[in-house]
Amino acid sequence: MTTAVMNPSATTTGQRSPGLWSLAWRRLLADKVAVIALAVVVFFLLLSLASFFGVVAKGWNREVAINYAPPTLFKDSNKPSADLAPGKAAQSGPAIDGAVAKAPLDNDRDPLRDVINELKTQLGQSSGTEAAGDIKIVDPLADVMAELRKKLGRVGEEGAAAVDEKKLESLQFGADKWGRDVLQKVIQGSETSILVGFAAAIVATLIGTFLGALAGYFGGKTDDVLNWFYSIFSSIPYILLVLAIAAVLKQKGILTVVLILGLTGWTSIFRLVRAEYLKHKARDYVRAANAIGASNMRRMFVHIFPNISHVVLVQLSLHVVLFIKSEVILSFLGFGVPVDTVSWGSMLNEAQNELILGYWWQLAAATAFMAILVTAFSLFTDALRDALDPKLK
């Protein structure tokens, strides 16, 4: 049943008059803010997919730099090299925004763009201290060599001898307590948050839609029971219910977080879907479906559902944002993802103590990434609602 939702352009076929989805799609594309927001969201999705398959941010757990290596992104590094000439350094500020908006468009044409970008960033990182980055592009084994050298270096440190390759003294986004690259961590955190946000939103939408359809369509006793169920869940404040379930479920994990958020967050979807089914079940097309002998299930999900799927889609989008924010809070408190997983929430937790010591970059990176994604997603959701329901203004 999600196929209709997931594939908005499916109804766009040659000669037929444009359907709801193609009209909505056109309206969406006419909205500049929506297009930029969508591009940012797509970029984040690609980024987390790339991170999921290990293309980028694979080595987030490696200690590549000295402890709390400072970031070089916003100011000239201590020893200005050719790469960080004033002109280039001035560009690097707006470069994040630009990259975010541009990259998904480029991606359509050039599948290797991500990899190249990644190489470029690595080059940028290392050029601040040593020319190792140049070798990396030419020599595919450079990574292995660097790994070996680092191990050697660790041995060497004990002997206090000058080592050929030291840990980096600065990184574009800085490093954390153990010298891990904050950029890679924050990308890894995006993956976690986006995965949890989408999975939990899908769980909540499935539950809310299914129960709402049953309640609205059948009415009577079914409606009473499901409404009772709804009133129970909606009378407990959301965050309290989430914490109560977190207290009960001992094992931590991404699946647990998804379940907690999904099982508690379905109520508003239920209410809206129920109202839609109440409205639609008495319409002529449903009666006609009844007359030709369509079963209840068929009428509910084949006939009515496509007509209300725009409501569901907007709710799905709203809930992704809600759950991403909730996941950050849960992980911050330590009730969320396990310790060996990075999330924006766990980064903020570390950053809280680092800030007093003056190390602000982990806080800045996690905040910026989250704010950009959530802003884009919210703007996109608003535009989506406007596009799907032009009467509403």
User: Interface residues with other proteins (CB under 8 A)?
Assistant: 228-229, 231-233, 235-237, 239-241, 243-250, 325, 328-329, 332-335, 344-345, 348, 351-352, 355-356, 363, 367, 370-375, 378-379, 382
- State the minimum distance, in angstroms, from the CB of residue 53 to other proteins: 27
- Closest to 343 (Cα-Cα) out of 222, 194, 223, 235: 194
**Min separation Cβ 258 and other proteins, Å:** 17
Nearer Cβ to other proteins (208/345):
345
Give the position of tokens 């709710």: 315
Question: Whole-number minimum distance, CB 245 to other proteins, in Å?
Answer: 6
Token pair recorded at residue 325: 């924010």
**Shortest distance, position 133 Cβ to other proteins, whole Å:** 33
CB of 182 within 8 A of CB of 173? yes
- The distance of closest approach from Cβ of residue 222 to other proteins in the complex, given in angstroms and rounded to an integer, is 16
Cα–Cα distance measured from residue 183 to residue 362, given in angstroms and rounded to the nearest whole number: 9
Handedness of CA 217, 222, 228, 234 (dihedral sign): negative
Nearer to other proteins among residue 65 and residue 351 (C-beta)? 351
Q: Which residues contact 307 (CB under 8 A, 6 or more apart)?
A: 280
313 vs 372, beta carbon nearer other proteins: 372
Question: Which residue, 106 or 382, is less far from other proteins as judged by CB?
Answer: 382
Instruction: List % helix, strand, coil for the chain (3-state, nearest 5).
Output: 70, 0, 25
> Which is nearer to other proteins, 112 or 356 (by Cβ)?
356
What burial class does residue 245 get, using C-beta atoms within 10 Å of its C-beta: 0-12 exposed, 13-18 middle, 19+ buried? middle
From the CB of residue 392, how many other CB atoms can be counted at a distance below 10 Å?
Answer: 7
Q: Minimum distance from CB of 267 to other proteins (Å)?
A: 12
Report the distance separating Cα 186 and Cα 329, nearest Å: 16
Residue closer to other proteins (CB basis): 25 or 332: 332
